[in-house]
A and B are shown apart, each in its own frame.
Chain A
Amino acid sequence: MDQVFDFREFCLTLLRRFKLLLILALVCGILGGLFGFAVKADGFSGDLRDTYTVTSVVSVNLNRQEKDVPLSSIMTTIDGVLQSNYFQTTLMQAGFDKPELESAVAELFPQPETTELDEFKKTVKTSIKGNLILVEVTAHSQQNAQAYSIFSADYIAKEISGMVTTVSMTPKEKQTILQNSAVWTDKLVTTAKFGILGAAGGFGLGILWIFFFNIFSLKIKSVDDLKTFGLPVLGIFDQPKGGR
Protein backbone atom coordinates (compact mmCIF):
# COMPACT_ATOMS: atom_id res chain seq x y z
CA MET A 1 0.00 0.00 0.00
CA ASP A 2 1.35 3.39 -0.95
CA GLN A 3 2.28 5.67 1.93
CA VAL A 4 2.00 9.23 0.62
CA PHE A 5 3.51 12.14 2.55
CA ASP A 6 1.49 15.27 1.93
CA PHE A 7 3.40 18.31 3.18
CA ARG A 8 0.34 20.54 3.02
CA GLU A 9 -1.66 18.07 5.05
CA PHE A 10 1.25 17.79 7.46
CA CYS A 11 1.21 21.58 7.98
CA LEU A 12 -2.57 21.55 8.40
CA THR A 13 -2.25 18.77 10.96
CA LEU A 14 0.34 20.84 12.80
CA LEU A 15 -2.10 23.74 12.93
CA ARG A 16 -4.95 21.49 14.02
CA ARG A 17 -2.83 19.89 16.71
CA PHE A 18 -1.17 23.11 17.85
CA LYS A 19 -2.81 22.96 21.26
CA LEU A 20 -1.54 19.42 21.71
CA LEU A 21 1.94 20.55 20.75
CA LEU A 22 1.79 23.39 23.25
CA ILE A 23 0.58 21.08 26.01
CA LEU A 24 3.35 18.59 25.19
CA ALA A 25 5.92 21.40 25.22
CA LEU A 26 4.55 22.69 28.53
CA VAL A 27 4.64 19.28 30.19
CA CYS A 28 8.16 18.53 28.92
CA GLY A 29 9.23 22.03 29.95
CA ILE A 30 7.96 21.50 33.48
CA LEU A 31 9.61 18.08 33.68
CA GLY A 32 12.85 19.58 32.32
CA GLY A 33 12.66 22.40 34.84
CA LEU A 34 12.16 19.97 37.70
CA PHE A 35 15.11 17.93 36.47
CA GLY A 36 17.21 21.08 36.18
CA PHE A 37 16.23 22.08 39.71
CA ALA A 38 17.18 18.68 41.07
CA VAL A 39 20.65 18.44 39.54
CA LYS A 40 23.66 20.40 40.76
CA ALA A 41 23.89 23.79 39.13
CA ASP A 42 27.32 23.33 37.61
CA GLY A 43 27.12 19.69 36.68
CA PHE A 44 25.72 16.29 37.57
CA SER A 45 28.00 15.38 40.46
CA GLY A 46 25.09 15.48 42.84
CA ASP A 47 26.73 17.99 45.21
CA LEU A 48 23.83 20.12 46.33
CA ARG A 49 25.66 22.05 49.03
CA ASP A 50 25.48 25.82 48.95
CA THR A 51 28.49 27.69 47.61
CA TYR A 52 29.75 31.14 48.55
CA THR A 53 31.92 33.43 46.52
CA VAL A 54 34.04 36.07 48.24
CA THR A 55 36.13 38.62 46.37
CA SER A 56 38.94 40.57 48.01
CA VAL A 57 40.28 43.63 46.31
CA VAL A 58 43.85 44.93 46.44
CA SER A 59 44.32 48.51 45.37
CA VAL A 60 47.70 49.10 43.71
CA ASN A 61 49.58 52.37 44.26
CA LEU A 62 52.65 53.44 42.33
CA ASN A 63 55.87 54.85 43.79
CA ARG A 64 56.36 58.56 43.31
CA GLN A 65 59.44 58.11 41.13
CA GLU A 66 57.49 55.87 38.74
CA LYS A 67 54.64 58.31 38.09
CA ASP A 68 55.67 58.70 34.46
CA VAL A 69 55.02 55.01 33.74
CA PRO A 70 51.41 54.45 32.57
CA LEU A 71 49.40 52.53 35.13
CA SER A 72 47.69 50.47 32.45
CA SER A 73 50.97 49.06 31.14
CA ILE A 74 52.08 48.15 34.65
CA MET A 75 48.75 46.43 35.38
CA THR A 76 48.98 44.55 32.08
CA THR A 77 52.35 43.26 33.17
CA ILE A 78 50.97 42.28 36.55
CA ASP A 79 48.04 40.55 34.90
CA GLY A 80 50.43 38.55 32.75
CA VAL A 81 52.37 37.53 35.82
CA LEU A 82 49.20 36.60 37.70
CA GLN A 83 47.96 34.43 34.87
CA SER A 84 51.28 32.67 34.39
CA ASN A 85 51.45 29.00 35.25
CA TYR A 86 54.43 29.68 37.44
CA PHE A 87 52.60 32.17 39.57
CA GLN A 88 49.41 30.15 39.72
CA THR A 89 51.36 27.11 40.86
CA THR A 90 53.28 29.19 43.35
CA LEU A 91 50.11 30.75 44.65
CA MET A 92 48.43 27.44 45.15
CA GLN A 93 51.39 25.71 46.69
CA ALA A 94 52.61 28.60 48.79
CA GLY A 95 49.23 29.95 49.67
CA PHE A 96 47.66 26.76 50.78
CA ASP A 97 50.52 24.60 51.86
CA LYS A 98 52.54 26.98 53.93
CA PRO A 99 52.24 26.71 57.69
CA GLU A 100 51.24 30.38 57.99
CA LEU A 101 48.00 29.61 56.18
CA GLU A 102 47.15 27.00 58.74
CA SER A 103 48.07 29.35 61.56
CA ALA A 104 46.00 32.12 59.97
CA VAL A 105 43.05 29.83 59.60
CA ALA A 106 43.53 28.60 63.13
CA GLU A 107 43.34 32.20 64.32
CA LEU A 108 40.18 32.85 62.39
CA PHE A 109 38.49 29.58 63.08
CA PRO A 110 39.08 27.38 66.09
CA GLN A 111 38.26 24.28 64.00
CA PRO A 112 39.25 24.91 60.37
CA GLU A 113 37.82 22.68 57.69
CA THR A 114 41.24 21.60 56.51
CA THR A 115 39.77 18.74 54.53
CA GLU A 116 38.48 21.25 52.00
CA LEU A 117 41.85 22.83 51.17
CA ASP A 118 42.09 20.97 47.88
CA GLU A 119 38.76 22.32 46.93
CA PHE A 120 39.94 25.91 47.33
CA LYS A 121 42.87 25.36 45.05
CA LYS A 122 40.44 24.83 42.21
CA THR A 123 38.30 27.84 42.90
CA VAL A 124 40.70 30.78 43.23
CA LYS A 125 40.45 33.28 40.40
CA THR A 126 42.48 36.45 39.94
CA SER A 127 41.69 39.34 37.66
CA ILE A 128 42.65 42.98 37.09
CA LYS A 129 40.27 45.91 36.87
CA GLY A 130 41.93 49.30 36.53
CA ASN A 131 44.32 49.53 39.44
CA LEU A 132 42.57 46.77 41.36
CA ILE A 133 43.56 43.14 41.74
CA LEU A 134 40.52 41.02 42.47
CA VAL A 135 40.91 37.65 44.15
CA GLU A 136 37.80 35.54 44.04
CA VAL A 137 37.45 32.43 46.17
CA THR A 138 34.47 30.10 46.07
CA ALA A 139 33.80 27.64 48.86
CA HIS A 140 31.00 25.83 50.59
CA SER A 141 31.60 27.81 53.75
CA GLN A 142 31.17 31.56 53.76
CA GLN A 143 33.76 32.00 56.52
CA ASN A 144 36.32 29.85 54.75
CA ALA A 145 35.78 31.63 51.46
CA GLN A 146 36.30 34.98 53.15
CA ALA A 147 39.38 33.89 55.05
CA TYR A 148 41.13 32.36 52.04
CA SER A 149 40.20 35.26 49.82
CA ILE A 150 41.78 37.77 52.19
CA PHE A 151 44.81 35.58 52.69
CA SER A 152 45.25 35.11 48.93
CA ALA A 153 44.94 38.84 48.31
CA ASP A 154 47.63 39.55 50.89
CA TYR A 155 49.84 36.88 49.42
CA ILE A 156 49.41 38.15 45.87
CA ALA A 157 50.17 41.73 46.94
CA LYS A 158 53.39 40.61 48.57
CA GLU A 159 54.42 38.41 45.66
CA ILE A 160 53.75 41.08 43.07
CA SER A 161 55.62 43.63 45.06
CA GLY A 162 58.60 41.34 45.04
CA MET A 163 58.37 40.26 41.41
CA VAL A 164 57.80 43.62 39.75
CA THR A 165 60.70 45.68 40.96
CA THR A 166 59.84 49.00 39.32
CA VAL A 167 56.78 49.48 41.47
CA SER A 168 56.05 48.88 45.06
CA MET A 169 52.55 47.86 45.97
CA THR A 170 50.96 47.59 49.30
CA PRO A 171 47.52 46.28 50.02
CA LYS A 172 45.73 49.49 50.64
CA GLU A 173 42.24 48.26 50.91
CA LYS A 174 40.53 44.94 51.44
CA GLN A 175 36.94 44.66 50.44
CA THR A 176 34.77 41.66 50.83
CA ILE A 177 31.80 41.03 48.62
CA LEU A 178 29.52 38.25 49.73
CA GLN A 179 27.43 36.54 47.08
CA ASN A 180 25.58 33.90 48.99
CA SER A 181 22.68 34.07 46.57
CA ALA A 182 24.82 32.53 43.86
CA VAL A 183 23.48 29.05 44.53
CA TRP A 184 19.90 30.02 44.01
CA THR A 185 20.78 32.12 41.00
CA ASP A 186 22.57 29.15 39.48
CA LYS A 187 19.68 26.87 40.34
CA LEU A 188 17.18 29.20 38.70
CA VAL A 189 19.35 29.55 35.61
CA THR A 190 19.79 25.78 35.40
CA THR A 191 16.07 25.23 35.96
CA ALA A 192 15.26 27.73 33.24
CA LYS A 193 17.79 26.14 30.88
CA PHE A 194 16.42 22.65 31.37
CA GLY A 195 12.87 23.97 31.23
CA ILE A 196 13.47 25.66 27.90
CA LEU A 197 15.32 22.62 26.61
CA GLY A 198 12.47 20.38 27.77
CA ALA A 199 9.85 22.61 26.14
CA ALA A 200 11.80 22.71 22.88
CA GLY A 201 12.30 18.96 23.08
CA GLY A 202 8.62 18.38 23.74
CA PHE A 203 7.66 20.61 20.84
CA GLY A 204 10.11 18.81 18.59
CA LEU A 205 8.86 15.42 19.75
CA GLY A 206 5.30 16.49 19.01
CA ILE A 207 6.25 17.58 15.50
CA LEU A 208 8.11 14.31 14.97
CA TRP A 209 5.15 12.35 16.25
CA ILE A 210 2.79 14.16 13.86
CA PHE A 211 5.30 13.66 11.02
CA PHE A 212 5.53 9.92 11.52
CA PHE A 213 1.81 9.71 12.23
CA ASN A 214 1.21 11.35 8.86
CA ILE A 215 3.50 8.92 7.13
CA PHE A 216 2.38 5.70 8.75
CA SER A 217 -1.24 6.45 9.55
CA LEU A 218 -3.78 4.42 7.59
CA LYS A 219 -6.41 7.13 7.90
CA ILE A 220 -7.56 9.13 4.92
CA LYS A 221 -6.24 12.68 5.07
CA SER A 222 -6.58 14.13 1.59
CA VAL A 223 -7.98 13.67 -1.89
CA ASP A 224 -4.69 12.16 -2.99
CA ASP A 225 -5.15 9.33 -0.51
CA LEU A 226 -8.49 8.44 -2.11
CA LYS A 227 -7.10 8.69 -5.63
CA THR A 228 -4.73 5.82 -4.90
CA PHE A 229 -7.72 3.43 -5.05
CA GLY A 230 -8.20 4.08 -8.76
CA LEU A 231 -11.60 5.73 -8.44
CA PRO A 232 -12.34 9.41 -9.08
CA VAL A 233 -13.14 11.78 -6.23
CA LEU A 234 -16.45 13.25 -7.31
CA GLY A 235 -16.94 15.76 -4.50
CA ILE A 236 -15.35 17.31 -1.46
CA PHE A 237 -17.65 18.51 1.29
CA ASP A 238 -16.85 20.11 4.58
CA GLN A 239 -19.51 19.08 6.99
CA PRO A 240 -20.07 19.91 10.62
CA LYS A 241 -19.02 17.42 13.26
CA GLY A 242 -21.49 14.85 14.53
CA GLY A 243 -23.10 12.10 12.56
CA ARG A 244 -26.62 11.09 11.85
Chain B
Amino acid sequence: MRYDAYVNTALAAMAKLPGSKPQVFVLTSSHADVDLLPTAEGLAAAYSMLGKKTLIADLRSDGLTLGEIRQKQGFFFTALTLVQGEAPPTAETMGALVEKLQADYSTVLLVTSPVLESMAAMAAVRAASGVLMAEKRNLSRRDEIEKALEAIRNLEGNPVGFLLV
Protein backbone atom coordinates (compact mmCIF):
# COMPACT_ATOMS: atom_id res chain seq x y z
CA MET B 1 0.00 0.00 0.00
CA ARG B 2 1.31 3.46 -0.84
CA TYR B 3 0.92 5.80 2.09
CA ASP B 4 1.81 9.09 0.37
CA ALA B 5 -1.80 10.08 -0.19
CA TYR B 6 -2.77 8.97 3.32
CA VAL B 7 0.11 10.91 4.90
CA ASN B 8 -0.84 14.05 3.00
CA THR B 9 -4.45 13.58 4.05
CA ALA B 10 -3.48 12.98 7.67
CA LEU B 11 -1.38 16.14 7.67
CA ALA B 12 -4.21 18.15 6.10
CA ALA B 13 -6.69 16.84 8.67
CA MET B 14 -4.31 17.60 11.52
CA ALA B 15 -3.87 21.11 10.20
CA LYS B 16 -7.62 21.60 10.38
CA LEU B 17 -7.60 20.85 14.10
CA PRO B 18 -4.75 22.86 15.61
CA GLY B 19 -3.79 22.23 19.23
CA SER B 20 -1.86 19.76 21.23
CA LYS B 21 -4.91 17.86 22.48
CA PRO B 22 -5.19 14.31 21.14
CA GLN B 23 -7.31 14.41 18.02
CA VAL B 24 -10.41 12.29 17.62
CA PHE B 25 -11.80 11.98 14.12
CA VAL B 26 -15.07 10.45 13.10
CA LEU B 27 -14.71 8.72 9.77
CA THR B 28 -18.14 8.37 8.28
CA SER B 29 -19.98 8.53 4.99
CA SER B 30 -23.34 9.60 3.72
CA HIS B 31 -23.80 6.19 2.10
CA ALA B 32 -23.76 2.91 4.00
CA ASP B 33 -21.96 1.00 1.25
CA VAL B 34 -18.85 3.15 1.18
CA ASP B 35 -15.70 1.22 2.00
CA LEU B 36 -14.51 2.83 5.24
CA LEU B 37 -12.16 0.40 6.94
CA PRO B 38 -9.36 0.42 4.31
CA THR B 39 -9.41 4.20 4.42
CA ALA B 40 -9.31 4.15 8.22
CA GLU B 41 -6.41 1.71 8.21
CA GLY B 42 -4.50 3.77 5.68
CA LEU B 43 -5.04 6.96 7.64
CA ALA B 44 -4.14 5.27 10.93
CA ALA B 45 -0.94 3.92 9.42
CA ALA B 46 -0.12 7.40 8.14
CA TYR B 47 -0.62 8.87 11.62
CA SER B 48 1.62 6.15 13.03
CA MET B 49 4.29 7.06 10.51
CA LEU B 50 3.99 10.64 11.71
CA GLY B 51 4.73 9.45 15.23
CA LYS B 52 1.20 9.44 16.54
CA LYS B 53 -0.03 6.57 18.66
CA THR B 54 -3.21 5.73 16.79
CA LEU B 55 -6.34 3.72 17.46
CA ILE B 56 -9.19 2.73 15.19
CA ALA B 57 -12.57 2.28 16.88
CA ASP B 58 -15.12 0.62 14.66
CA LEU B 59 -18.60 1.60 15.83
CA ARG B 60 -20.49 0.23 12.89
CA SER B 61 -21.28 -3.22 14.17
CA ASP B 62 -23.31 -4.11 17.22
CA GLY B 63 -20.18 -4.23 19.33
CA LEU B 64 -17.33 -1.76 19.64
CA THR B 65 -14.14 -2.97 17.99
CA LEU B 66 -10.87 -1.26 18.83
CA GLY B 67 -7.78 -1.76 16.72
CA GLU B 68 -4.41 -0.36 17.62
CA ILE B 69 -2.07 0.34 14.77
CA ARG B 70 1.27 -1.32 15.32
CA GLN B 71 4.34 -1.71 13.23
CA LYS B 72 6.10 -4.99 12.75
CA GLN B 73 8.96 -5.61 10.36
CA GLY B 74 8.26 -2.41 8.51
CA PHE B 75 4.57 -3.16 7.88
CA PHE B 76 1.70 -1.51 9.65
CA PHE B 77 -1.13 -3.72 10.72
CA THR B 78 -4.25 -3.40 12.78
CA ALA B 79 -4.12 -5.35 16.02
CA LEU B 80 -7.58 -5.88 17.41
CA THR B 81 -7.14 -5.34 21.11
CA LEU B 82 -10.58 -5.08 22.58
CA VAL B 83 -14.13 -6.06 21.84
CA GLN B 84 -16.67 -4.90 24.33
CA GLY B 85 -20.47 -4.81 24.59
CA GLU B 86 -22.54 -2.31 22.71
CA ALA B 87 -21.20 0.88 21.23
CA PRO B 88 -22.03 3.80 23.55
CA PRO B 89 -25.26 5.24 22.16
CA THR B 90 -25.44 8.50 24.06
CA ALA B 91 -23.29 11.60 23.98
CA GLU B 92 -22.32 11.17 27.64
CA THR B 93 -21.16 7.56 27.41
CA MET B 94 -19.44 8.23 24.07
CA GLY B 95 -17.77 11.27 25.58
CA ALA B 96 -16.48 9.15 28.44
CA LEU B 97 -15.10 6.57 26.01
CA VAL B 98 -13.42 9.24 23.90
CA GLU B 99 -11.83 10.82 26.98
CA LYS B 100 -10.54 7.42 28.01
CA LEU B 101 -9.08 6.79 24.58
CA GLN B 102 -7.57 10.25 24.40
CA ALA B 103 -5.63 9.47 27.56
CA ASP B 104 -3.85 6.59 25.84
CA TYR B 105 -3.69 7.65 22.17
CA SER B 106 -2.77 10.81 20.37
CA THR B 107 -5.03 10.07 17.40
CA VAL B 108 -8.30 8.14 17.44
CA LEU B 109 -10.35 7.29 14.35
CA LEU B 110 -13.99 6.49 15.10
CA VAL B 111 -15.40 4.60 12.14
CA THR B 112 -19.17 4.94 12.09
CA SER B 113 -22.23 4.20 10.01
CA PRO B 114 -23.90 7.11 8.22
CA VAL B 115 -24.84 9.74 10.75
CA LEU B 116 -28.54 9.57 10.04
CA GLU B 117 -28.64 5.81 10.49
CA SER B 118 -26.95 5.25 13.84
CA MET B 119 -27.30 6.65 17.34
CA ALA B 120 -23.67 5.71 18.02
CA ALA B 121 -22.61 7.74 14.98
CA MET B 122 -24.53 10.77 16.23
CA ALA B 123 -22.96 10.46 19.65
CA ALA B 124 -19.50 10.06 18.11
CA VAL B 125 -19.97 13.17 15.97
CA ARG B 126 -20.77 15.20 19.10
CA ALA B 127 -17.80 13.82 21.05
CA ALA B 128 -15.17 13.94 18.29
CA SER B 129 -12.87 16.82 17.39
CA GLY B 130 -13.72 16.62 13.71
CA VAL B 131 -15.62 14.62 11.13
CA LEU B 132 -14.05 13.20 7.98
CA MET B 133 -16.56 12.20 5.31
CA ALA B 134 -15.48 9.49 2.93
CA GLU B 135 -17.54 9.51 -0.25
CA LYS B 136 -17.32 7.09 -3.12
CA ARG B 137 -17.42 7.96 -6.79
CA ASN B 138 -20.60 6.94 -8.57
CA LEU B 139 -22.12 5.77 -5.28
CA SER B 140 -22.52 8.67 -2.89
CA ARG B 141 -25.34 11.04 -3.75
CA ARG B 142 -25.34 14.79 -3.42
CA ASP B 143 -28.67 14.93 -1.64
CA GLU B 144 -27.51 12.33 0.91
CA ILE B 145 -24.30 14.26 1.52
CA GLU B 146 -26.26 17.45 2.04
CA LYS B 147 -28.52 15.77 4.59
CA ALA B 148 -25.54 14.19 6.38
CA LEU B 149 -23.72 17.52 6.56
CA GLU B 150 -26.86 19.19 7.85
CA ALA B 151 -27.21 16.50 10.51
CA ILE B 152 -23.57 16.85 11.54
CA ARG B 153 -23.94 20.62 11.91
CA ASN B 154 -27.19 20.19 13.83
CA LEU B 155 -25.31 17.88 16.22
CA GLU B 156 -22.71 20.61 16.64
CA GLY B 157 -20.15 18.43 14.96
CA ASN B 158 -17.16 19.79 13.10
CA PRO B 159 -16.99 18.60 9.48
CA VAL B 160 -13.33 18.84 8.52
CA GLY B 161 -13.36 17.70 4.93
CA PHE B 162 -14.05 15.03 2.37
CA LEU B 163 -12.11 11.96 1.34
CA LEU B 164 -12.91 10.75 -2.17
CA VAL B 165 -12.57 6.99 -2.33
Contact = CB atoms under 8 A, between A and B. Distances in A.
Interface stretch (B47-55, B90-98, B120-128, B140-148): B140-148
Interface string B30-66: 0001111111001000000000000000000000000
A234 B161 contact: yes
A219 B140 contact: yes
A244 B40 CA distance: 11
A158 interface: no
Contacts, number: 92
B35 A231 contact: no
Contacts of A242: 35
Contacts of A236: 5, 163-164
Contacts of B16: 232, 234
A237 B135 contact: no
A99 to B, nearest CB: 80
Contacts of A226: 135, 145, 162, 164
A215 to B, nearest CB: 13
Main secondary structure of the interface of B (DSSP, over half): mixed
Contact of A220 (B6, B12, B39, B136): B136
Contact of A239 (B13, B159, B165): B165
B138 A221 contact: yes
B39 A237 contact: yes
Interface residues of B, number: 36
Tell me the dominant secondary structure on chain A's binding face: loop
B13 A220 contact: no
Contact of B142 (A220, A232, A237, A238): A220
B18 to A, nearest CB: 15
Interface in A223-238: 223, 225-226, 228-229, 231-238
Contacts of B159: 231
B69 interface: no
B162 A243 contact: no
B37 A244 contact: yes
Interface of A: 1, 218-223, 225-226, 228-229, 231-240, 242-244
Given A220-B141, A220-B145, A242-B35, 15 more contacts: A219-B138, A220-B164, A231-B149, A231-B160, A233-B161, A233-B162, A233-B164, A234-B9, A234-B12, A234-B162, A235-B12, A237-B5, A239-B38, A239-B39, A243-B34
7 contacts: A218-B142, A219-B138, A220-B135, A231-B160, A236-B164, A237-B6, A243-B33
